[in-house]
């Protein structure tokens, strides 16, 4: 646990009693604060009470008298489309609003570090797609190098729930836009921006607000090194804002598909090969095509981001290359879950938007595509340029019929359920093809989250006869 500093003897309200909320309450108490806990959900309140926490009704008009701060869970709206009523009341009372990420950076480091030979560091990863894989890959490389490391944030443990750092440790955090938008302190040593595509637009009042939330990771405290994906205009703009010019090696530009020349430091992948260039010289070249845990151009971008971050931490190219080959990938992200009669079954349930689904489809030449769920604005019309690889689509969930109308001449079948989609795709698939779950939609019509959707797909694949 990381005890929260700065609130000893003060009352701090905590709104939202999920994993991060309860961890925040414990960390506040460990730092000498008095946490006042509340959740709008009766079930969450009951679970907190069962865990031994006392509740304070923050909906009362006098709830924020003598309160030093309100700490809110990331999923609770604080601005758009409208602030939660409790957050609005805190704002009306002039009470600062923060989240666990802000408390963490406020509390990271202390007198005990004076005895360390090497101060611990923090690497933060944000972006639209690839955050989790990039975070896990950096963590994996550090472990392979023998460096003490922990992984937390939007993946793994809550950020205040980690163990106190060791001498020379590297903490790797995945941060969503919900987390970066509100945190009052953001001071990573290395910050990574993977890419940007439309997502969570209602929460951020449009693409500009979404990008602004991501950008705060780089503008609030200023990392020592910034790794920036420049395959979209927003990434190029961000790199340009951070660097003093092309010769500024504090910014490492990365790309999947574009050779980056003329910069002090760049890492890019083309035709399956990763290359690192620094001050006009090629420092490394790695063939990514045979790495099973990193299939497709989108994963090659993740490899570039992780490579750049680890090089910024001082790791050698040879060590990083070896670790890439031992990376098994993450569940629900281009995860190979079975093979049957020369047909591979790949679970990419995390592909909840059009951009991530497009990258998954582009990773394989012949695809039996399982898609559908709670479709997002625009449906799958934007996927038209990558549908050439789709042999047939098997559509499930609430958006199945809407998706069917947007598939044009691509063969498709409305299956409605995952069970029927897996059975039909497996029955029709030919050797050399891939049955790919890449829904391009949220899961909430049939599953509580994308993990449960991916687990159901995996269970059905593993139950197929003849595996």
pLDDT in tens, 131-158: 999 999 999 999 999 999 999 998 878 9
Mean pLDDT of all residues in 202-207: 95
CATH number at residue 74: 3.40.50.720
* The pLDDT of residue 373 is above 60: yes
Confidence of residue 111 (pLDDT cuts 50, 70, 90): confident
Residues 225 and 267 sit within 8 Å (Cβ to Cβ): no
Total domains present in the chain: 3
Are 24 and 52 members of one domain? yes
Mean pLDDT of 148-172: 94
**Cβ count near 464 (within 10 Å):** 17
Question: Is the pLDDT reported for residue 165 higher than 60?
Answer: yes
350 and 417 in a single domain? The answer is: yes
The answer to whether the predicted template modeling score (pTM) of the entire model surpasses 0.75 is yes
Assign 156 to helix, strand or coil. Answer: coil
Contact predicate 230/224, CB 8 Å: no
Confidence of residue 19 (pLDDT cuts 50, 70, 90): confident
Is the pLDDT at 221 greater than 90? The verdict is no
Q: How much is the average pLDDT of 379-396?
A: 96
Would you list which residues are annotated within the binding site for ATP? Answer: 127-133
Instruction: Confirm if 101 and 165 have CB atoms less than 8 A apart.
Output: no
Statement to judge: residues 339 and 237 lie in one domain? no
Q: What is the pLDDT of residue 110?
A: 84
Q: What is the DSSP-derived secondary structure letter of residue 115?
A: G
pLDDT of residue 290: 85
Assess whether 112 and 217 both reside in one domain: yes
Q: In a 10 Å sphere around its CB, with 0-12 CB exposed, 13-18 middle and 19+ buried, how is residue 408 labelled?
A: exposed
Share of the chain above pLDDT 90, in %: 88
**pLDDT at 34 > cutoff 60:** yes
**pLDDT value for 399:** 96
Count CA atoms within 13 Å of residue 183 on its CB side: 29
Q: Between 400 and 221, where is the model more confident?
A: 400
Residues 126 and 259 in one domain: yes
Q: What is the pLDDT of residue 150?
A: 97
Confidence at residue 376, expressed as pLDDT on a 0 to 100 scale: 87
Taking residues 294-298, report their average pLDDT.
Answer: 88
315 and 343 in a single domain? The answer is: no
Examine residue 330 and state whether it is found in any structural domain, yes or no: no
Q: Are residues 181 and 315 in the same domain?
A: yes
Q: Tell me the two tokens of residue 297.
A: 């151009």
- Determine the structural domain holding residue 275 and report its residue range: 108-325
Of 69, 98, 127, the domain-final residue = 98
At residue 194, the 3 state secondary structure works out as: coil
Structure tokens at 334: 């281009």
Query: What confidence score (pLDDT) does residue 466 get?
Result: 73
Q: Whole-angstrom Cα distance, residue 254 to residue 304?
A: 6
What does the pLDDT read at residue 467? 55
Is the confidence at residue 318, as pLDDT, over 70?
yes
Please give the annotated binding residues, written as ranges.
127-133
């Amino acid at each position: 646990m990381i005890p929260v500093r700065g609130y000893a003897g003060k009352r701090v309200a905590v709104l939202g009693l999920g994993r991060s909320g309860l961890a925040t309450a414990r960390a506040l108490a460990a730092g000498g604060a008095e946490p006042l806990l509340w959740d709008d959900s009766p079930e969450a309140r009951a679970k907190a009470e069962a865990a031994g926490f006392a509740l304070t009704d923050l909906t009362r008009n006098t709830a924020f008298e003598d309160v030093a701060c309100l700490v809110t869970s990331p999923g609770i709206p604080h601005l758009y489309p409208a602030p939660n009523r409790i957050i609005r009341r805190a704002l009306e009372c002039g009470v600062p609003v923060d989240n666990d990420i802000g408390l963490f950076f406020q509390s990271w480091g202390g007198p005990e570090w004076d005895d360390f030979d090497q101060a611990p560091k923090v690497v933060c990863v944000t972006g639209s797609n690839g955050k989790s894989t990039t975070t896990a890959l950096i963590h994996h490389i550090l472990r392979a190098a023998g460096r003490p490391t922990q992984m937390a944030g939007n993946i793994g443990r809550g950020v205040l729930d980690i163990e106190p750092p060791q001498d020379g440790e590297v903490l790797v955090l995945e941060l969503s836009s919900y987390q970066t938008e509100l945190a009052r302190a953001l001071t990573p040593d290395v910050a990574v921006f993977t890419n940007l595509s439309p997502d969570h637009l209602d929460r951020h009042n449009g693409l500009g607000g979404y990008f602004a939330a991501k950008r705060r990771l780089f503008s609030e405290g200023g990392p020592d090194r910034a790794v920036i994906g420049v395959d979209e205009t927003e990434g190029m703009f961000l790199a340009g804002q951070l660097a003093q010019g092309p010769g500024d090696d504090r910014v490492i530009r990365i790309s999947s598909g574009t050779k980056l020349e003329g910069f002090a430091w760049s890492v890019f992948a083309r035709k399956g090969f990763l290359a690192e260039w620094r001050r006009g010289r090629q420092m490394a070249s790695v063939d990514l095509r045979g790495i099973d845990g990193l299939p497709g151009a989108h994963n090659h971008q993740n490899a570039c981001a992780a490579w750049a971050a680890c090089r910024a931490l001082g790791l050698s190219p040879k060590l990083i290359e070896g670790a890439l080959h031992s990376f098994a990938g993450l569940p629900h992200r281009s995860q190979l879950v079975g093979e049957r009669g020369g047909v591979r079954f790949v679970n990419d349930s995390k592909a909840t938007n059009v951009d991530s689904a497009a990258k998954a489809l582009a990773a394989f030449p012949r695809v039996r595509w399982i898609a559908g769920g709670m479709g997002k604005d625009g449906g799958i019309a934007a996927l038209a340029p990558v549908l050439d690889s789709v042999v047939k689509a098997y559509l499930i969930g609430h958006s199945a019929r809407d998706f069917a109308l947007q598939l044009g001449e691509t063969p498709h079948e409305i299956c409605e359920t995952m069970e029927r989609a897996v059975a039909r795709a497996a029955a029709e698939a030919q050797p050399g093809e891939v049955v790919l779950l890449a829904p391009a939609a949220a899961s909430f019509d049939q599953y509580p989250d994308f993990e449960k959707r991916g687990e159901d797909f995996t269970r059905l694949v593993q139950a197929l006869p003849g595996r």
